[in-house]
Amino acid sequence: MNNPFIPVCKKDMTNRGWEQVDFIFISADAYVDHPSFAVAILSRTLESYGFKVAIIPQPNTKNLEDFKRCGEPRLGILISGGNIDSMVAHYTAAKKKRSEDLYSPGGKAGKRPDRPTIVYSKMAREAFPDKPIIIGGIEASLRRFAHYDYWEDKVMPSILEDSGADLLIYGMGERILKEIAFALNDGLDIKSITYIDGTAYMTEDASYIEDAAVIPSFEEVKKDKKAYAVSVSEQYAQHDFARGKTVIQPHKNRFLVQNKPAAPLSRSELDRIFSLPFTREVHPMYEKMGGVPAIEEVKFSITSSRGCFGSCNFCALAFHQGRTVQSRSHKSIITEAEKMTNMPDFKGYINDVGGPTANFRAPSCEKQLKEGVCKNRQCLFPAPCPNMKVSHTEYVKLLRELRSLPKIKKVFIRSGIRFDYLMADKDDTFLKELCQHHISGQLKVAPEHISDNVLKLMGKPSNRVYRDFCTAYKRINNQLGKEQYLVPYLMSSHPGSTLNDAIELAIYLKKEGINPQQVQDFYPTPGTISTCMYYTGIDPRTMKKVYVAKDPTEKAMQRALLQYRRPENYALVHKALVMAGRQDLIGFDKNCLIRPKNYTKSKDGGYTNGKNYRRQGSGTGNKRGAGKKGSKNDRRR
């Protein structure tokens, strides 16, 4: 077989001696045969069990024949909206159209429609009316219940209702898809496959289901925000493989039925997946189009774990991958690294060894694999659980093994580091080795905010924990004789964040000399607790009211405050400070964020704004300031 890639057309099938495939996999991403891309993992998994799979990446939605390019499949059609949500891929948090799509050839936008899971499902049904349609991926997973759609600003039904698909896989789908494939191969009708954990389906009769959690209907959550919050609370309460129940949500004259989550993969199952024969390359059909940019950061990266018990409220991971951490064996990871070093374009650098959270390598406590995660207790929030196992020993050992391999110059860690988990570890060996071996000049971390009120609603640790981490990071680097910095990820306009909170964050940035180049306005994506807060103004965990900045001008002001130094943000920052009654931050004092409007420099070294407002240094006016030396600093800021 000359072509190691999975077939993408009839010619590829013919070269393999195939007349018909078992499954067609339609994806909104370009085809990259790398284990960081879901379509590659799932297709290779099916292939490993003897099923014939063809991939149709980014089909032309104006031409039904493009959906038929690989003929009619024997068993069914699989559909994924891609590695990231299509609406996030297409639009900024301000709902402005993005100019690029890193998961498309040449990084060009426009290769996939909005909500491709729905569009592809409808076209696949038209092309193959009698074949089962199974949807999955992040887009389908987070829309499996009735959900608030930020882009339409309304509550939409389950994606199963809108797409007309037969079955939905939520979460990580390898084992689930294998069970479905064998069931279809054994002759079961897709309508009979209602028993597999990790799946959801629509039915006209749910009376036969026992011991289920029934949540408010689509009609109820659409008209009543309190009912919506109750629905989300129960969805999260049942999102556990060990203690979770089947969840039922009425939709008009039918019922959405979600079976309980699938159990996490074992280490051996995870190892098996990553041992499959990925080429780790972009399909050659994209070569003339400039390749696929998304491969650049991950081609020489290693996924070492899945799941995250950090459970930030604005993050979809807890509702997709789950809170139970699963990890690969050292042998599996070392084998992948060794294969990597033999690739012709490998330069000696592994870009990452991690997952959703790099320094999570095991379930947070002993009881999770038997009893599941706690229903009313987070592992790290509001403080680390006393039962949580805190150790980086195994991860440090893995990193040392990787560093010792021939041909490897440096192993970076670029996945998120949970600094609160790191600070809970009394042994600072990992922090020392992180600073010494695994970063280069700077470490990106995600405190997100400094207001404890906002952090509480984010599900993040208090600002004190971040300050302690900053101190420890500086101390370790001083001991090592390294000048390395922290680059904080920050978020504006998260539910609970007021204009005053944003101003306090700006003051903190000023005090610490931080000038963030990138900030993120809160993005209400489907399926998160924070999105529920944004839509309802209610915290579903407590059912208490939450302040939400929805006015576009206020949101713009909060964002501008995080980059108050930028000239283009001056008007918004000035307006925010006046609105909040913080004119004390407008002036020439070293603690001020911005200068007054229309000020000019006077001949004697002071400043005036035309209203006889003068800065100290000229001998008159405001007593605040730092003289001529301060004026030099003013020009620099």
Q: Are residues 130 and 184 in the same domain?
A: yes
The answer to whether residue 229 is domain-embedded is no
Q: Are 609 and 588 in contact (CB under 8 A)?
A: no
Q: Are 458 and 312 in contact (CB under 8 A)?
A: yes
Number of domains in the chain: 4
The answer to whether residue 528 is domain-embedded is yes
The answer to whether residue 208 is domain-embedded is no
The answer to whether residue 210 is domain-embedded is no
The pTM score is: 0.91
Q: 223-244, pLDDT tens digit by residue?
A: 999 999 999 999 999 999 999 9
Using the predicted structure, report yes or no on whether residue 421 has a pLDDT greater than 70.
yes
**Whole-number pLDDT of residue 603:** 61
Paired sense of beta strands 167-169 and 133-136, if any: parallel
Q: Are 290 and 350 in contact (CB under 8 A)?
A: no
**Whole-number pLDDT of residue 619:** 34
**Whole-number pLDDT of residue 462:** 95
For 253, the token pair is 């004259």
Q: What is the mean pLDDT of the chain?
A: 92
Q: 515-551, pLDDT tens digit by residue?
A: 988 889 999 999 999 999 999 999 999 999 999 999 9
Using the predicted structure, report yes or no on whether residue 120 has a pLDDT greater than 60.
yes
**Whole-number pLDDT of residue 377:** 85
Q: 449-464, pLDDT tens digit by residue?
A: 999 999 999 999 999 9
Q: Are residues 387 and 496 in the same domain?
A: no
Q: Are 496 and 468 in contact (CB under 8 A)?
A: no
Taking the C-alpha atoms of residue 297 and residue 301, their distance in angstroms, rounded to an integer, is: 7
Could you list the residue range(s) of the whole structural domain that residue 17 is in?
10-201+254-258
Region 500-516: mean pLDDT is: 95
Residue corresponding to tokens 């409007």: 597
Q: Are residues 51 and 190 in the same domain?
A: yes
The answer to whether residue 162 is domain-embedded is yes
Taking the C-alpha atoms of residue 210 and residue 49, their distance in angstroms, rounded to an integer, is: 34
Using the predicted structure, report yes or no on whether residue 614 has a pLDDT greater than 70.
no
* CATH code of residue 365: 3.30.750.210
For 173, 209, 227, 241, 356, the CA distances from 257, given in Å and listed in that order, are: 18, 9, 18, 16, 28
Using the predicted structure, report yes or no on whether residue 487 has a pLDDT greater than 70.
yes
Domain boundary among 374, 403, 438: 438
Using the predicted structure, report yes or no on whether residue 443 has a pLDDT greater than 70.
yes
Closest CA to 417 of 456, 458, 368, 466: 466
Q: Residue 367: which pLDDT band, with cuts at 50, 70 and 90?
A: confident
Q: Are 381 and 311 in contact (CB under 8 A)?
A: yes
For 145, 239, 261, 312, 457, the CA distances from 322, given in Å and listed in that order, are: 16, 8, 9, 12, 20
Q: Are residues 557 and 504 in the same domain?
A: yes
Beta bridge partners of 56: 26
**Whole-number pLDDT of residue 605:** 57
Q: With the C-alpha atoms ordered 389, 393, 394, 398, is the resulting torsion angle positive or negative?
A: positive
DSSP state for residue 221 in the 8-state scheme: H
Q: Are residues 434 and 452 in the same domain?
A: no
Which residues have CB under 8 Å from 603's CB, separation 6+?
A: none
Using the predicted structure, report yes or no on whether residue 620 has a pLDDT greater than 70.
no
Direct distance between the N- and C-terminal alpha carbons of the chain, in angstroms, rounded to an integer: 62
Taking the C-alpha atoms of residue 188 and residue 193, their distance in angstroms, rounded to an integer, is: 7
The answer to whether residue 246 is domain-embedded is no
Q: With the C-alpha atoms ordered 508, 512, 517, 518, is the resulting torsion angle positive or negative?
A: negative
Region 112-126: mean pLDDT is: 98
Which residues have CB under 8 Å from 370's CB, separation 6+?
A: 242
Beta bridge partners of 155: 148
> Own/partner pairs for 528-531, CB < 8 Å, 24+ apart?
528/142, 528/313, 528/314, 528/315, 528/316, 528/319, 529/232, 529/236, 529/313, 529/314, 529/459, 530/313, 530/314, 530/457, 530/458, 530/494, 530/495, 531/148, 531/150, 531/314
Q: Are residues 604 and 561 in the same domain?
A: no
Q: Are residues 466 and 412 in the same domain?
A: no
**In the chain, % of residues over pLDDT 90:** 89
Rg (CA), the chain: 27
Using the predicted structure, report yes or no on whether residue 568 has a pLDDT greater than 60.
yes
Q: 310-322, pLDDT tens digit by residue?
A: 989 999 888 999 9
Taking the C-alpha atoms of residue 414 and residue 297, their distance in angstroms, rounded to an integer, is: 10
The answer to whether residue 417 is domain-embedded is yes
Q: Are residues 169 and 49 in the same domain?
A: yes
Region 177-195: mean pLDDT is: 98
The answer to whether residue 75 is domain-embedded is yes
| Kind and range of the H or E run holding 398 | helix 393-403
- Per DSSP, the three-state class of 136 is strand
For 5, 46, 78, 79, 523, the CA distances from 13, given in Å and listed in that order, are: 11, 16, 18, 20, 42
DSSP state for residue 97 in the 8-state scheme: B
Using the predicted structure, report yes or no on whether residue 635 has a pLDDT greater than 80.
no
Q: Please list the alpha-helical segments (H only) found in 143-197.
A: 159-163, 174-185
Q: Are residues 51 and 161 in the same domain?
A: yes
Q: 368-394, pLDDT tens digit by residue?
A: 888 889 888 899 998 999 999 999 999
Q: Are residues 513 and 559 in the same domain?
A: yes
Which residues have CB under 8 Å from 553's CB, separation 6+?
A: none
Using the predicted structure, report yes or no on whether residue 406 has a pLDDT greater than 90.
yes
Q: Residue 623: which pLDDT band, with cuts at 50, 70 and 90?
A: very low
**Whole-number pLDDT of residue 628:** 35
Q: Residue 609: which pLDDT band, with cuts at 50, 70 and 90?
A: low
User: Rounded to 5 degrees, what angle do the CA atoms 449, 456, 546 make?
Assistant: 100
Task: Identify how many contiguous H helices and E strands the chain contains and give both numbers.
Answer: 24, 26
* CATH code of residue 122: 3.40.50.2300
Q: Are residues 99 and 167 in the same domain?
A: yes
Using the predicted structure, report yes or no on whether residue 611 has a pLDDT greater than 70.
no
Region 411-418: mean pLDDT is: 93
Region 614-629: mean pLDDT is: 36
Q: Residue 633: which pLDDT band, with cuts at 50, 70 and 90?
A: very low
Q: Are 558 and 499 in contact (CB under 8 A)?
A: yes
Q: 573-593, pLDDT tens digit by residue?
A: 999 999 999 999 999 999 999
**Whole-number pLDDT of residue 594:** 96
Q: Are residues 432 and 451 in the same domain?
A: no
Q: Residue 631: which pLDDT band, with cuts at 50, 70 and 90?
A: very low
Q: 61-82, pLDDT tens digit by residue?
A: 999 999 999 999 999 999 999 9
Taking the C-alpha atoms of residue 58 and residue 105, their distance in angstroms, rounded to an integer, is: 10
Angle between helices 174-185 and 38-48 (to 10 degrees): 40
Q: 34-45, pLDDT tens digit by residue?
A: 999 999 999 999
**Whole-number pLDDT of residue 632:** 33
Per the document, the length of the chain is: 637
